[in-house]
Amino acid sequence: MKTILITGCSSGIGRHCALRLHELGYRVFATARKLADVQALADEGLESLQLDLDDSASIHAAVDQVLERTGGTLDVLFNNGAYGQPGAVEDLSRDVMRAQLETNVLGWLELTNRVLPVMRRQGGGRIVMNSSVLGLVALKYRGAYNCSKFALEGLTDTLRLELAGTNIHVSLIEPGPIESAFRKNAFAAFNANIDIERSAHRETYEAVVTRLANQEPGKEPAFTLTSEAVLKPLRHAIESRRPRARYYVTFPTHLMGLMRRILPNRLLDKLLIKSSD
């Protein structure tokens, strides 16, 4: 039975993949930041642990618990826990940007580095990073999140090169819009950390807030898929003898990946600006 540690399992992709992999026979260690979410995962039959990506002690304690339960082995790490901080770049304070990178990049780095010696010792393993279409292209008012995912992509590519020949395979999954609590959490982060009244982007912000307030409940952007769309590439990344470096998920990711390769920057910028309006 393969063992897998998954972060960010309170909702969305993490929760769905944890439950489905458990059904498929994996021994899943599902983690979440809040104790209430950890208990909810346990109530659904998962081995659940608290893991706060902003807290080094929490990361090390969670890995220690997993290794104690498995006898010192771990087959797969699925780095998934993240959040989005909206706002124009000029409205992002150093502290707000630091918080975004702590969760979305540095916490993943520390957790990965804690697991790598285990995989080296056992002669192999799989590390899967859940990135985003915004790790391929940038969109307006997503600067903090864009930055975190671009950084993650570079870090992951480097790690893959450094681990060549070790039988530890590293893959990126790059979803576009997926049904989850991501947008709700991002809106909360926006309200908590962006000063609308003093911003040069005030009119744009107010229009977005009005649109979100009047949006029909459950209405998702075009091309949005369920979390099940991520399960298939995740399984390939952890089961295939030759996992891919990258897995595109959803039509927007395939489209953006293609446009980035073939279009000149000026034309690509025009299309990205239009798609953000």
Q: Which domains does the chain have, with CATH numbers?
A: 3-84+92-180+223-276 (3.40.50.720)
DSSP letters spanning 107-172: HHHHHHHHHHHHHHHHT-EEEEEE--GGGTS--TTBHHHHHHHHHHHHHHHHHHHHTTTTTEEEEE
pLDDT of residue 248: 98
**Residue 155 pLDDT class (50, 70, 90 cuts):** very high
- Name the residue type at position 138: A
Dihedral angle, C-alpha 143, 145, 148, 150, nearest 10 °? -70
**CA atoms lying within 13 Å on the CB side of residue 166:** 20
Spatial neighbors of 150 by CB under 8 A, at least 6 apart, are 135, 138
Catalytic: 83? Answer: no
How confident is the model over 221-260, as pLDDT tens digits?
778 999 999 999 999 999 999 999 999 999 999 999 999 9
pLDDT at 213: 66
**Minimal CA–CA distance to 66: which of 125, 13, 16?**
125
Distance between CA 202 and CA 12 in Å, rounded? 31
Phi and psi at residue 76, in whole multiples of 5°?
Answer: -140, 140
Please give the single-letter amino acid code of residue 99: A
Determine which one of 26, 141, 145, 205 is catalytic. Answer: 145
pTM over 0.85: yes
Share the mean pLDDT of the chain: 95
pLDDT of residue 275: 83
Q: What is the pLDDT of residues 49-64, one digit of tens each?
A: 999 999 999 999 999 9
> What's residue 214's pLDDT?
66
- CA distances from residue 171 to 122, 151, 191 in whole angstroms, order as listed: 19, 15, 34
Mean pLDDT of 68-84: 98
